[in-house]
């Protein structure tokens, strides 16, 4: 395999969701059907890079080296939401509130630097969120259950690390490996 599927992202400390995640799964499984993200795979994507030749990885690492570091900034996880907002929902996600502008600045810098290497620029605004469920279908109780969790406080992290992550697709779901 000569290519790697990459993204820049942040893994979430699974203790943030540990006290409530199984309850959310249990409740939403009654009103939706789909694939849940395992608690150890919870993350948010800063920039999806896509399939790249393995020999390009050192240059990507070098270009992003000063961004792929620890940040001491608070992230608060609050509320459940669905995408798209109207129509048939396909993704259930947890919202992220950011204490300062460091996360957005990092996303813009990653996008800009990768564009200089020939990767396409993002055409939509960076909105950090944690995908919990990729849905195939929902029933009538979905929207009211979603409303119940619209302002739910999950917890926070006082720091985070941006990583370069390889995603290998498998029949049981993605397998993530931090490569920088």
Q: Which residues are catalytic?
A: 43, 129
Q: Which helix (H) or strand (E) holds 153?
A: strand 153-157
Structural contact between residues 117 and 59, judged by C-beta atoms closer than 8 angstroms: yes
CB atoms within 10 A of CB 9: 21
Angstrom CA distances, 109 to 33, 128, 134, stand at: 37, 15, 28
E-strand spans in 2-86? 3-11, 32-36, 43-53, 70-71, 75-83
Structural contact between residues 167 and 176, judged by C-beta atoms closer than 8 angstroms: yes
Q: Which helix (H) or strand (E) holds 65?
A: none
SS3 10: strand
SS3 26: helix
SS3 93: strand
């Amino acid at each position: 395999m000569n290519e790697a599927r990459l993204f820049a992202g942040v893994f979430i400390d699974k203790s943030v969701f540990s006290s409530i995640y199984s309850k959310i799964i249990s409740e939403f499984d009654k009103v939706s059907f789909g694939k849940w993200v395992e608690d150890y795979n919870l993350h948010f994507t800063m920039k999806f890079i896509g399939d790249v030749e393995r020999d390009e990885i050192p240059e990507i690492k070098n270009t992003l080296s000063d961004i792929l570091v620890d940040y001491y900034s608070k992230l608060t996880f609050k509320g459940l939401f669905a995408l798209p907002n109207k129509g048939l929902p396909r993704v259930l996600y947890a919202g992220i509130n950011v204490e300062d502008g460091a996360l957005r600045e990092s996303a813009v810098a990653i996008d800009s630097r990768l564009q200089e290497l020939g990767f396409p620029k993002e055409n939509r605004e960076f909105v950090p969120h944690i995908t919990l469920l990729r849905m195939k279908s929902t029933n009538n109780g979905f929207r009211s259950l979603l409303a119940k969790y619209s302002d739910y406080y999950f917890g926070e992290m006082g720091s985070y690390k941006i990583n370069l992550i390889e995603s290998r697709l498998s029949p049981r779901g993605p397998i993530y490996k931090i490569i920088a």
